[in-house]
Amino acid sequence: MMRTIYCMKLKKEAKGLEEQPFRGELGERIFASVSQEAWSMWINHQTMLINEYRLSTVDPKAREFLRTEMEKYLFGASSKIPDGYQAE
């Protein structure tokens, strides 16, 4: 059965995630208020950040950076875009 939520990113009712993306309070918050569409948008943005900044996901500082950017992207104004970045 489809779960509908009010998506904080898209500012509209949309299909919710099927499960929490990860454990903890932030995972619960995302599950409750981020749609599948917005989560997919974040994954694409995260991939761009990892590639442009050449981040290693095993580096604790990189993981903290991505977590902070995820919160900004999903719940705040916007996540940063690297200087000089041009979408292909």
- The pLDDT tens digits for 13-42 are 999 999 999 999 999 999 999 999 999 999
As a whole number of angstroms, the distance between CA 76 and CA 73 comes to 6
What DSSP character marks residue 21? S
Sign of torsion over alpha carbons 15, 11, 22, 53: positive
**End-to-end CA gap in the chain:** 37
For the chain, which domains are there? 4-75 (1.10.3880.10)
- For the stretch 42-72, pLDDT in tens is 999 999 999 999 999 999 999 999 999 999 9
